[in-house]
Structure 1
Amino acid sequence: MNNKALLDRSLAAVWHPCTQMKAHETMPLVPIKSGEGVWLHDFEGNRYLDAVSSWWVNLFGHNNPRIKQAISQQLNTLEHVILAGFTHEPVVTLSERLSKLTGLGHCFYASDGASATEIALKMSFHYWRNLGKPNKTRFVSLQNSYHGETLGALSVTDVAIFKDTYAPLLQQSAQVRSPDWRLAEVGESADDYALRCANELDTYLAQHHQEIAAFIVEPLIQCAAGMAMYSPVYLKRAREICDQYQVHLIADEIAVGFGRTGTMFATEQAGIRPDFICLSKGITGGYLPLSVTLTTDMIYQAFYDDSVARGFLHSHSYTGNALACSAALATLDIFETDDILQANRQKTVYLNNKIQMLNDFPIKNLRNLGMVWAFDVQTQDAQFSRRFYERALARGLILRPIGNTVYWMPPYVVSESEMDWMLEQTQALLAMGV
């Protein structure tokens, strides 16, 4: 097998995600043979530094021996069992550990982030219905938010290229101003701007809370909005506002959970507990599909009844898959035994001491939060993201700019020398002109 043969077969058989397939007439796919650490290898001996963690999922590197071993051991006993009417050790243990980490109660499992969002939205709506408040059927999200591409998740997403085509299929939701500090007025601090945005949420909920079930938010970073970062004071104030108006707060930590923002979960930086938290991506270290929605005991109790119709009758065939749960447990073990959050803080300091040299190029808003770095390139090139991606790939670096925003979100196992190389290659790309 070689790169060309696998490429041709893929184009003939696979409809690739988030892709205009015709683009691959001139921009070839990259057939990958293997991975090790932060590196991916093709069939011709080329290697690529995975600076986007394979769509933000890979935390501890490709071919991680501890996660592989956990899956292998589980494979010898139980691969999967229906979770309706049955249970198993990995899903119980994982649920206990996630509950302890988040301060929330029961876990409801699915396989992907969009499904976790759907579950939270449906649970919130159904909770209010069970409480005799059937008018609370609508949702609020941030401008430029992204919560997934199934119909419910897309209804609270505010990214036009994903949403506009399907608008006739979607439930209407409301969007309030994003606290993205890049949108602040000149001289306005990130905290002050965040509070100004929170006041707009307050105003909206004051007028509409009787019909609003929940406010859903990506804590601290709106990733698909170009790694839009904001102050945790927004989350703190949003929690107070939601409490005041009896509106659920849903924390979509699908992309930012499991240490990505510097704490295990981003909401910790605001000192708050949401009513729902949606988790996926890094939960299995990038090994197997898994997502989970956790909620409070109070919300759980509203479904606990003799009436079947008052129960939450949502389901997925692979809910709580034992192999995926075993990978998630191994991922949590690595966080604990290797003190990952502290190690990441050291890596952040190391790279931040060097990254300022990028300001010599035509960029703005150089920013960092935890293990996410981003900057906005000043360019009028409508094809910038594609061109930058192709040039980076030619240098062995995987970058997927969002519009004119270039970001790094590498696996946590990235070494100092690999970070140096990532920075050097990005410098070289900017020096080529934008």
Structure 2
Amino acid sequence: MTASPIWHPFTQHGLGEPSPQVARAEGAALFIADGRRIVDAISSWWVTTHEHCHPRIMTAIAEQARNLDQIIFAGWTHEPAEAVARGLRELMPDELTRIFFSDSGSTSVEVALKMALGYWANTGRPRHKILVLEHAYHGDTVGAMSVGARGVFNAAYAPLLFDVETLPFPAGDGAATLERLTALCREDPAALIVEPLICGAGGMKIYDAAILAEMRRICTAHDVLFIADEVMTGWGRTGTLLACEQAGIVPDILCLSKGLTGGAMPLAVTMASEPIFAAHLSQDRARMFFHSSSYTANPLACAAAAANIAIWQDEPVIERVGRLAERQTRHLEKLAQNPRIANARRAGTITAVEIEDSHSGYLSDLGPKLLARFRQSDLLLRPLGNTVYVMPPYCVSDEDLASIYDGIEDAVANC
């Protein structure tokens, strides 16, 4: 059989690792072309919230496909996009009055950064510096890489990246973070961007909601825009609809993607407060917001998002999230007793641990060994080096959840 010409993301093809062909998906499971059933323990890269092929979402996509597939969104609109906008205004904080569509988490961050810089430019007070958190990850486009941690993810592309100011990760009481933020805010930066409560790809590092609240307070006091990247943390992952809820805060700009469509279609939104929009509102065409993509607010993706929003409005999703968090806790407590396991932690439905290894971090030699062992156990788990995390769809059964943690125990014993 001829080797596939596909170049896969975050894959070193020189290692010769297999890429199993997935034929279909249902609930919390993937079914491989050879008949195997794989438990999706990471929601297919953090996107699948309720379940794979959710009937309401699939029906909405199919019905939309019979009517309108695609239309330019510059100066035009359609009902699926209007339905998403109405639904988001009902679900999300009242202060976030404006909704800009894009097509991925990374682009929603690019939009947020451009909105922030545009705000300051259009109000006659140009500011350019962006503040970021240590260990941050916001995507793989140039702006998103610039506000992420510098390291193996982006070292080759350093000439493309703009300079930022980095705050230490808010460990413990966050005193060092808050002190540094206060000092930098006196220099009139444009914005601070954070992943609320948990830095995802940076190692599933969790920090306290009280620190998040204080970061927001400091930014407000110094008139610095606050951007919340809830691409991963939103839609219930941390136990509430938005992670920001747990800190009692509302950002100036909010990035959403992944679970926006329940994980069924690529779509993103950047929600902004009215002052951000007003700064771009003018009779002067030069002050418009210069951003778009060909598939902005694609009707098929918007139909999926509208169906997902309806699920959140009609069904007890947060109760399901709470039950999953409780079940995760029981398994995590047992796993934490293993002497090779360190720093067992949970944020809502997300759990993570470190496995003892001589080399920690994303390029830990343990990572590929764990990945191979998880494949053998029919689990989709993708460790971040020696960090193993679990983030399953909310429908995951007790039996499948047990198989995930049994698989981790097996990997710890055999890798």
- TM-score, with normalisation over the residues of structure 1? 0.91
Letter in structure 2 aligned against 1:317: S
Return the match for 1:165 from 148, 156, 166: 156
Q: Distance in 2 between matches of 1:55 and 1:370?
A: 17
Contact 1:259 1:341 in 2 (8 A): yes
Equivalent in the alignment of 1:184: none
Letter in structure 2 aligned against 1:372: I
Return the match for 1:408 from 365, 377, 390: 390
- What whole-Å deviation, never above 9, does each CA across 1:26-85 have from its counterpart, x for those lacking one? x11111111111111111111211111111111122222111101011112211211111
Equivalent in the alignment of 2:316: 339
Equivalent in the alignment of 1:49: 39
* SS in structure 1 of the partner of residue 97 of structure 2: coil
Contact 1:146 1:159 in 2 (8 A): no
Q: Distance in 2 between matches of 1:177 and 1:359?
A: 27
Equivalent in the alignment of 1:396: 378
Equivalent in the alignment of 2:111: 119
Letter in structure 2 aligned against 1:120: A
Equivalent in the alignment of 1:65: 55
* SS in structure 2 of the partner of residue 106 of structure 1: strand
Q: Does 1:289 align with 2:262?
A: no
Letter in structure 1 aligned against 2:179: N
Letter in structure 2 aligned against 1:385: G
How far apart are 1:428 and its partner, in Å?
1.9
Q: Does 1:418 align with 2:408?
A: no
Q: Does 1:38 align with 2:28?
A: yes
- What whole-Å deviation, never above 9, does each CA across 1:358-389 have from its counterpart, x for those lacking one? 12321111111111010111111531111001
Letter in structure 2 aligned against 1:128: W
* SS in structure 2 of the partner of residue 105 of structure 1: strand
- What whole-Å deviation, never above 9, does each CA across 1:385-421 have from its counterpart, x for those lacking one? 1100110111101111112110001011101221122
Equivalent in the alignment of 1:427: 409
- What whole-Å deviation, never above 9, does each CA across 1:297-336 have from its counterpart, x for those lacking one? 1111111100001110211111111110110111122223
Letter in structure 2 aligned against 1:366: A
Q: In the TM superposition, what are the counterparts of 1:120-135 in structure 2 within 5 Å?
A: 120-134=112-126
Q: Distance in 1 between matches of 2:238 and 2:331?
A: 19
Contact 1:276 1:295 in 2 (8 A): yes
Q: Distance in 2 between matches of 1:195 and 1:322?
A: 46
Contact 1:195 1:233 in 2 (8 A): no
How far apart are 1:429 and its partner, in Å?
1.8
Q: Distance in 1 between matches of 2:54 and 2:341?
A: 35
Q: Does 1:156 align with 2:143?
A: no
Contact 2:132 2:166 in 1 (8 A): yes
Q: Distance in 1 between matches of 2:389 and 2:331?
A: 15
Are the structure 2 counterparts of residues 33 and 216 from structure 1 closer, same or farther at C-alpha, using a change threshold of 3 Å?
A: same
Q: Distance in 1 between matches of 2:3 and 2:72?
A: 34
How far apart are 1:195 and its partner, in Å?
4.0
Name segments (4+ residues, structure 1) moved above 3 Å.
none
How far apart are 1:118 and its partner, in Å?
0.6
Contact 1:108 1:292 in 2 (8 A): yes
Cα RMSD over matched residues? Answer: 1.3
Equivalent in the alignment of 1:20: 12
Letter in structure 2 aligned against 1:99: R
Equivalent in the alignment of 2:243: 266
- What whole-Å deviation, never above 9, does each CA across 1:195-248 have from its counterpart, x for those lacking one? 442222112222x22xx1110000001001110011011221111111111110
Q: Distance in 2 between matches of 1:255 and 1:346?
A: 20
Q: Distance in 2 between matches of 1:34 and 1:177?
A: 43
Letter in structure 2 aligned against 1:231: D
How far apart are 1:90 and its partner, in Å?
1.1
Contact 2:328 2:349 in 1 (8 A): no
Contact 2:147 2:164 in 1 (8 A): yes
Q: Distance in 2 between matches of 1:408 and 1:335?
A: 22
Q: Distance in 2 between matches of 1:139 and 1:62?
A: 37
* SS in structure 1 of the partner of residue 190 of structure 2: strand
Q: In the TM superposition, what are the counterparts of 1:297-336 in structure 2 within 5 Å?
A: 297-336=274-313
Q: Distance in 2 between matches of 1:31 and 1:75?
A: 26
Contact 1:364 1:378 in 2 (8 A): yes
Contact 2:88 2:309 in 1 (8 A): no
* SS in structure 2 of the partner of residue 161 of structure 1: coil
Are the structure 2 counterparts of residues 416 and 336 from structure 1 closer, same or farther at C-alpha, using a change threshold of 3 Å?
A: farther
Q: Distance in 1 between matches of 2:327 and 2:100?
A: 38
Return the match for 1:387 from 369, 378, 387: 369
What's the % identity of the aligned pairs? 38
Equivalent in the alignment of 1:276: 253
Runs of at least 5 residues in structure 1 that lack an aligned partner in the other structure: 182-189
Q: Distance in 1 between matches of 2:136 and 2:290?
A: 28
How far apart are 1:159 and its partner, in Å?
4.1
Contact 1:194 1:233 in 2 (8 A): no
- What whole-Å deviation, never above 9, does each CA across 1:227-279 have from its counterpart, x for those lacking one? 00110112211111111111100000011111110000110111111000001
Q: Distance in 2 between matches of 1:75 and 1:267?
A: 35
Contact 1:99 1:294 in 2 (8 A): no
Q: Structure 1 residues 316-325 or 195-204, which shifts more? A: 195-204
Equivalent in the alignment of 1:371: 349
Equivalent in the alignment of 1:186: none
How far apart are 1:9 and its partner, in Å?
4.8
Letter in structure 2 aligned against 1:358: L
Q: Distance in 2 between matches of 1:427 and 1:336?
A: 38
Q: Does 1:255 align with 2:245?
A: no
